[in-house]
Structure 1
Amino acid sequence: MSDQQGKIMISLEDLLAQADLLKKQIEDLQKAQSEIADSLSAIKSAKDTIDELKTPKNDLFLSGDKKGFLMLRIPEAKADKVIVYLGLTYYAEVTPDTAVKILSDRENELNLTLQEVNKKLSESINAYSQISDILNRIQEQQQKGE
């Protein structure tokens, strides 16, 4: 790269490499975005289940998987304690109210992380778009020169 009269010169190869790097970064950020959204959905389901346990019922039906292919019927479900994931393979047996607080704290952390990922994703998409526009103009100029 060199600077002549306030202009930055960059090789076509460097520009293409930067575009490839940004494309991979965008894909990684989109994957992270999806994983965070999945975790947020799971936390919401966990909190909903705890709310269901607080309401006395004869039977409680729980989904054994994300899609509802397996339902578990729990007769006279009792909710004085639940087991909640703390992270790093640690779990704790706590009251439902404590579990909701732990889950809400985790939900807040994930929402902040999602905001950061969305911001980085937007920046990366904008940069990729700018490089793509430059590459398209270069291609048009080369075609006109032929």
Structure 2
Amino acid sequence: MSENQGKIVVSLEDLLAQADLLKKQIDELQKAQEELAESLASINAAKDSIEELSKQQEMLIASDKKGYLMFRVEQQPQSKVLVYLGLSYYAEVELPTAIKILESRENELNQSIQDINSKLSESINAYSQIAEILRSIQQQAPKKGE
């Protein structure tokens, strides 16, 4: 990179390297975004399960993801559940406390999703700008050869 009469000059290789780096960053951010959305969906499912626990006396529990085998389980009134705290630790807590823990985790995930969305937007904008510069270079290249 050098300055030439107040303009910044960047090599084509530097632009291509920056575009490649941004593309990788965008892919990683999108993957993180998907993982956080999946975690958020799991937390919502857990909260829904707690609400259902307090309402039902009998439950059907799937033994697999597709539901090929279901168990009919009669339950005692549930007063406590195990909630994941992180780092492989669980706590046995009352239902209202479990909801509070899950809501706290939900808020953390929502904040993380907002942060990632912001970084993703910045990366996409930067990538689009570089792509536009590369397109204009490509369009000008044949004209110089004429």
TM range (shorter): over 0.9
In structure 2, relative to structure 1, the CA distance for the partners of 1:65 and 1:50 (3 Å cut) is farther
SS at match of 1:78: coil
In structure 2, relative to structure 1, the CA distance for the partners of 1:22 and 1:65 (3 Å cut) is farther
Q: CA separation in 2, counterparts of 1:54 and 1:36? A: 28
Letter of the structure 1 residue corresponding to residue 43 of structure 2: I
**TM-score after normalising by structure 1:** 0.92
In structure 2, relative to structure 1, the CA distance for the partners of 1:68 and 1:116 (3 Å cut) is farther
Corresponding position of 1:18: 18
Percent identity over paired residues: 61
In the alignment, structure 1 segments of 5+ residues that lack a partner are none
Structure 2 contact 57–77 (Cα < 8 Å) conserved: no
**TM-score after normalising by structure 2:** 0.92
- The runs of at least 4 consecutive aligned structure 1 residues that moved more than 3 Å come to 62-72
Once the two structures are TM-superposed, the CA of residue 63 in structure 1 deviates from its matched residue by: 4.3
Q: CA separation in 2, counterparts of 1:31 and 1:3? A: 37
RMSD: 1.6
Equivalent residue pairs, number? 145
Letter of the structure 2 residue corresponding to residue 88 of structure 1: L
Corresponding position of 1:134: 133
In structure 2, relative to structure 1, the CA distance for the partners of 1:28 and 1:93 (3 Å cut) is same
Corresponding position of 1:4: 4
In the alignment, structure 2 segments of 5+ residues that lack a partner are none
In structure 2, relative to structure 1, the CA distance for the partners of 1:141 and 1:68 (3 Å cut) is farther
Structure 2 contact 83–92 (Cα < 8 Å) conserved: yes
